[in-house]
Structure 1
Amino acid sequence: MIPLHDDRSTHLTPWVVRGAVAVCVLVFLYELTLNARDVALFNYSFGVVPASLFGIAELPDEVAVIPAWATLATTIFVHGGFLHLIGNMLFLWTFGDNVEDSMGHGRFVIFFLVTGAVAAFTHAAWDMNSTVPLIGASGAVSGVLGAYILLYPRSRILVGIPLGPIFLPIRLRAWVMIGIWFGLQIFNVISSGVAGSGTAWLAHIAGFIAGGVLILFMRDKRHKLFSDETAMALSPATEPSALRIMRPDPHPDAPNGSGPWKKGPWG
């Protein structure tokens, strides 16, 4: 399922989310200028290498450019391919602004880095002898999902489901969509094992749990958990369209009650 849009408006401009997306894209564009060997060295330099993190093995001087503990943060901004990048950024763009809005910019920076670090550390701790670098923002993005489902479980999410040549758009409640996603992470751990594939499923689970715990303490108390408020409305059933479009209601804090408040990369 590919998230395209959610129905929640925000009070704050999501500068941290936008900044994180920009950094990830710029780092990826830089990687595209490198040859295969240099890309591998870059991943070892800024990804989390479990054996190095726990002092079991030392990296060569040419890649040990920062302390091993610092890679718990830098790994978030390094991706291994276009699909890896765009998948993480779509999830972050769709859900991250609301979580940032719930706690403010400064606390969200801490939240994002901590959930990413917890996810990477959990993955590394499971196999301390591994010398394969862990890269990607999926652990931190999982933390965003863990927070979002506690804040706005009843939000409507427009998702796209690729079915061969057909792209099926449907709306799901956040608790359904994120619940299915989390169930798939558990299924993948059970079926393929923690280290049974190239995806760090355990990191996703750890990040998700960390996000759910941290939101309890880091959110502004004006943002209630399990909110059932809606910020947008469906267009009339009579609208001549196979897929009705979600339109934003005016936000109460918008100037003169005006809107619209756009969400997601598609407006």
Structure 2
Amino acid sequence: MFIPVGDTPNPRNFTPWVNWFLIAVNVAIYLLISMPLAARGVSFDDPLLQEYVRYVYPSLPSILALRQVLAQISTYDLFVFVHGYKPAAPELNDLFFSMFLHGSFLHLAGNMLFLWIYGDNAEHRLGRLGYLLTYLMTGVAATLFFGMFAGKSMTPLVGASGAISGVLGLYFLLFPRNKVKVFIALFPFFFNTVLLPARLVLGIYIVVDNLLPFLTGAQSNVAFGAHLGGFFAGLAVAWVGEHFAWRWPWTDSFWRLGSAKAKQPIAEEPVSHSPLLDIRNALAHNDPDQAIEALARIDRSEVAQLEPNDCVVLANWLEDTGHPIAATRLLRSCLANHQHADNLADVYLMLGLMRLRQGQPTAAYQYLLNVFDYDPSPETAARAREALNQIDMYRH
């Protein structure tokens, strides 16, 4: 048995009000609606019961007699049938309300445990409103993804699992250096809590617990498709957010830096008009103005030719002139174009310092730790340690 029970590091001096609110709403709905209705039987004269049996009974094992089915139905089953998301009869209000309904106490407890572990970091990173909107959006995406493979099913989908999987997708991309505390019980030999890399734990969750059963068509009450849809939606939100430094693109006139394709050379065009040559000349003469002007004309192939040290200087100039998105894109392109280089420590340091200056210590923490994986110079290592000491946002 493997049960995640916590993670580290966590935001310090930060109260995840939105995450607590989401947990409270889910628990309150279960206590005030689900439990009371689950304890109530149904009237055989209820037209809704007849509709429920007509649509749901064919999907049940044939060995169950109708009388046995009716004896097990509660008022909550009919409530879920009305308000759960039905792929064959989709409704907008069901799309959202179904996220806050759960089939059992264990269903609720498992979901809330995951939300409690991973949600505080995600809320701290995205901000309260951004986190709430992302939670709801990835939950909707999860449900719609599930519906794509459910055909004309009238069996209702309920649970916060899809939205929480979206939080896990965010966490996977944004907190690669975090660890997860996992309680392991291998009866009767081993009982202990161990720290495992977050990406290993989440990778097992998404691949072993969801992707493989989904691909093999395993029969289960677990909505594997919703989990996968939510997780990949969370990954997409995190990727886009990091790509644009968590700012609106139109706030930086250089946000498309390096996205253009290479232009065909014009014979009569002077060689000095090459953006790459102009940038190298600007670097040689320490001329930020010339470099910024040339960066506005640079294309994707020319960005790939910039060395990591050049990218650091240029990103610093871009940030100083009010182009944080362009600076981020340049540094991330450098990491992608020089994946196997051994001199990337300064690139990660620059990304970490930028995030720290932008008031994003959770992102800075991840980048600054990466500095030490690339044999940094004594000066770079000292600056990274100084920056990490400034981050009073974490505790182990």
TM-score, scaled to structure 2: 0.52
Runs of 4+ in 1 over 6 A off after TM superposition: none
Among 182, 187, 191, the residue aligned to 2:206: 182
Q: Which moved more, 1:204-213 or 1:166-175?
A: 166-175
Contact kept, 8 Å, 1:47 with 1:71, in 2: the verdict is yes
* Displacement of 1:215: 1.7
Quote the residue 1:89 is aligned against: 112
Give 5+ residue unaligned stretches, structure 2: 41-72, 247-354, 370-387
Compared CA separation, residues 71 and 15, structure 1 to 2 (3 A)? same
Output one character per residue of 1:184-225: Cα deviation in whole Å (capped at 9) or x when no partner: 1111112334xx321110111111000010123346643438
Matches of 1:162 and 1:26, distance apart in 2: 31
**Pair 1:173 & 2:211 matched:** no
Compared CA separation, residues 69 and 225, structure 1 to 2 (3 A)? farther
Give 5+ residue unaligned stretches, structure 1: 54-67, 231-248, 255-259, 263-267
- Tell me the amino acid that sits aligned with residue 21 of structure 2: G
Compared CA separation, residues 90 and 173, structure 1 to 2 (3 A)? same
Matches of 1:135 and 1:6, distance apart in 2: 27
SS in structure 1 of the partner of residue 222 of structure 2: coil
Quote the residue 1:44 is aligned against: 81
- Tell me the amino acid that sits aligned with residue 85 of structure 2: V
Compared CA separation, residues 41 and 167, structure 1 to 2 (3 A)? farther
Q: How big is the alpha-carbon RMSD for the aligned residues of Structure 1 and Structure 2?
A: 2.5
Among 366, 370, 390, the residue aligned to 1:227: 366
SS in structure 2 of the partner of residue 95 of structure 1: helix
Contact kept, 8 Å, 2:18 with 2:132, in 1: the verdict is yes
* Displacement of 1:161: 2.5
Matches of 1:159 and 1:261, distance apart in 2: 18
Which structure 2 residues correspond to residues 63-212 of structure 1 after superposition, within 5 A? 68-164=91-187, 167-184=191-208, 185-193=210-218, 196-212=219-235
- Tell me the amino acid that sits aligned with residue 6 of structure 1: D
* Displacement of 1:229: 5.4
Among 27, 32, 42, the residue aligned to 1:25: 27
Contact kept, 8 Å, 1:79 with 1:135, in 2: the verdict is yes
Matches of 2:85 and 2:124, distance apart in 1: 29
Matches of 2:103 and 2:178, distance apart in 1: 31
Compared CA separation, residues 7 and 52, structure 1 to 2 (3 A)? same
SS in structure 2 of the partner of residue 159 of structure 1: strand
SS in structure 1 of the partner of residue 28 of structure 2: helix
Output one character per residue of 1:136-187: Cα deviation in whole Å (capped at 9) or x when no partner: 1111111111110111112111011333466432110101111111111111
* Displacement of 1:128: 3.0
Contact kept, 8 Å, 2:3 with 2:184, in 1: the verdict is yes
Matches of 1:12 and 1:124, distance apart in 2: 37
Quote the residue 2:58 is aligned against: none
Matches of 1:186 and 1:168, distance apart in 2: 28
* Displacement of 1:76: 1.2
Matches of 1:127 and 1:160, distance apart in 2: 34
Compared CA separation, residues 229 and 148, structure 1 to 2 (3 A)? farther
Compared CA separation, residues 122 and 150, structure 1 to 2 (3 A)? same
Quote the residue 2:283 is aligned against: none
TM-score, scaled to structure 1: 0.76
Q: Percent identity?
A: 35
- Give the number of equivalent residue pairs: 223
